[in-house]
C-alpha cells in the first residue's frame, strides 16, 4: 500500500492522508499541478462521473478548486460520461 499526502494550502478539510490500494489511481502529480494553479496560471477544470471509480479522489480535488470549475454528472468512467462533461464544458464556457 501507498499513502498520498495532500499538500498544505489546498484548503482540503478531509484527512491529510489517503491510503491508496496497489494498482489504484495515484493522484500525487495531479495534486502538485493543482497547487501550482494559484495566481496567474491557466485555470484548471475538473469533470467526472458521480459513479466513476475514481470519484472519491476527484471529490477531494474538487474541494481545492473553485466551485464553478467542477462539473459532476451521472455516470462512470466511460465515454458517454466524458462526452456529456465535454458538452457541458463547451456550453458553459463558449455559448
Q: Using one digit for the tens of pLDDT, what is the confidence trace for 52-91?
A: 999 998 998 888 888 888 999 999 999 999 999 999 999 9
| Residue in the structure block whose three cell numbers are 478531509 | 14
Interval 8-38: pLDDT, tens? 455 544 444 444 444 445 566 666 666 666 6
What is the pLDDT averaged over residues 32-45?
Answer: 65
Confidence (pLDDT) at 37? 60
Contact at 8 Å (CB) between 69 and 43? yes
Domain that holds residue 44: 2-94
The number of distinct structural domains making up the chain is: 1
**Would the pTM of this model clear 0.95, i.e. be above it?**
no
Confidence (pLDDT) at 73? 97
Confidence (pLDDT) at 2? 41
Amino acid at each position: 500500500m501507498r499513502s498520498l499526502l495532500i499538500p498544505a494550502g489546498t484548503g482540503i478539510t478531509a484527512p491529510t492522508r489517503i491510503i491508496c490500494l496497489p494498482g489504484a489511481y495515484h493522484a500525487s502529480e495531479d495534486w502538485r499541478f493543482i497547487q501550482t494553479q494559484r495566481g496567474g496560471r491557466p485555470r484548471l477544470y475538473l469533470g467526472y462521473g458521480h459513479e466513476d471509480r475514481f470519484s472519491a479522489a476527484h471529490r477531494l480535488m474538487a474541494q481545492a478548486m473553485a466551485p464553478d470549475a467542477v462539473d459532476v454528472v451521472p455516470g462512470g468512467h466511460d465515454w458517454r460520461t466524458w462526452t456529456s462533461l465535454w458538452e457541458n464544458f463547451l456550453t458553459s464556457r463558449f455559448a
